[in-house]
């Protein structure tokens, strides 16, 4: 008789099994949610770091190109408008027989359609070379709208996502990159660099 009672009570009832499975399901669901949110946060931080690195590398590349440029070769010069989205220049290669030797003409410009910063050597000539230095450039600098007003308070009006401000051989370079993050959020970073060109 005791053996019969023990065998009748051995194991779990259907209700106990369902409750145990529900609890396990809830625990696993929470683990998956925590893992996913941690993964999303990691991806978001990696996207931010990648965009900031891209911005810094592009500004460094522009600065290196302009540091050895002759200030007299900068086109357009300091004339209006107060900023330019294209800058042409020639490298100062040094002095030979008392004359300054310049390299081939070069140009850095914003291609708004593709949001690209493009470098061109010998623009318009048969031996023209071109390279895209970065993508994801905003049409306008961060905080700026096309409305005839200095929206971001930097002294410029309606400046583009790549803006060159030239004054006495000094070039101020402003650049804004923007990329869509996860969940539809927008990642936007802006940097500024000041480059002193060579005097001759």
DSSP the chain: -HHHHHHHHSS--HHHHHHHHHHHHHHHHHHHHHHHHHHHHHHHHHHHHHHHHHHHHHHHHHHHHHHTBBGGG-BS-SPSSS-BSEEEEEEEEEEETTEEEEEEEEEEEEETTTTEEEEEESTTSTT-EEEEEE--B-SB-TT--SSSS-TTSSS-SS-BSEEEEEETTEEEEEEEEEEE-GGG-EEEEEEEEEEEPB--
The CA-based angle 102-103-105, given to 5 degrees, is: 105
User: Is 170 exposed, middle or buried (CB count within 10 Å of its CB: 0-12, 13-18, 19+)?
Assistant: middle
Q: In this predicted structure, what is the pLDDT of residue 180?
A: 83
Structure tokens at 136: 């994801």
Residuewise pLDDT in 10s, the chain (200 residues) = 455 555 556 677 888 888 888 888 888 888 888 777 777 777 778 888 889 999 999 999 999 999 989 888 888 866 555 789 999 999 888 888 888 888 899 999 999 888 999 999 999 899 899 999 999 999 999 998 889 888 888 888 889 999 999 988 899 999 999 988 766 778 899 999 999 988 75
Strands 162-167 and 170-180, by their bridges, are: antiparallel
**Maximal CA-CA distance, the chain:** 119
Closest to 133 measured CA to CA, from 54, 76, 190: 54
pLDDT of residue 21: 86
Distances (CA, A) of 184 to 53, 118, 179, 180, 187: 21, 28, 10, 6, 10
């Amino acid at each position: 008789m005791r053996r019969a009672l023990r065998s009748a009570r051995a194991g779990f009832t259907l209700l106990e099994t369902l409750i145990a499975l529900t609890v396990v399901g809830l625990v696993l669901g929470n683990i998956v949610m925590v893992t996913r949110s941690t993964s999303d946060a990691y991806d978001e931080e990696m996207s931010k770091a990648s965009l900031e690195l891209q911005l810094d590398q592009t500004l460094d590349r522009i600065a290196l190109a302009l540091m050895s440029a002759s200030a007299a070769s900068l086109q357009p010069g300091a004339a209006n408008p107060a900023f330019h989205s294209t800058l042409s220049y020639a490298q100062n290669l040094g002095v030979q027989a008392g004359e300054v030797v310049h390299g081939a003409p070069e140009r850095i410009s914003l291609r708004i359609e593709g949001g690209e910063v493009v470098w061109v050597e010998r623009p318009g000539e048969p031996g023209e070379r071109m390279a895209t230095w970065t993508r994801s450039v905003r049409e306008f600098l961060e905080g700026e709208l096309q409305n005839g007003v200095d929206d971001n308070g930097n002294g410029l009006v309606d400046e583009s996502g790549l803006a060159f401000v030239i004054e006495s051989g000094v070039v101020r370079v402003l650049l804004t990159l923007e990329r869509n993050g996860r969940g539809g959020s927008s990642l936007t970073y802006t940097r500024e660099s000041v480059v002193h060109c060579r005097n001759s």
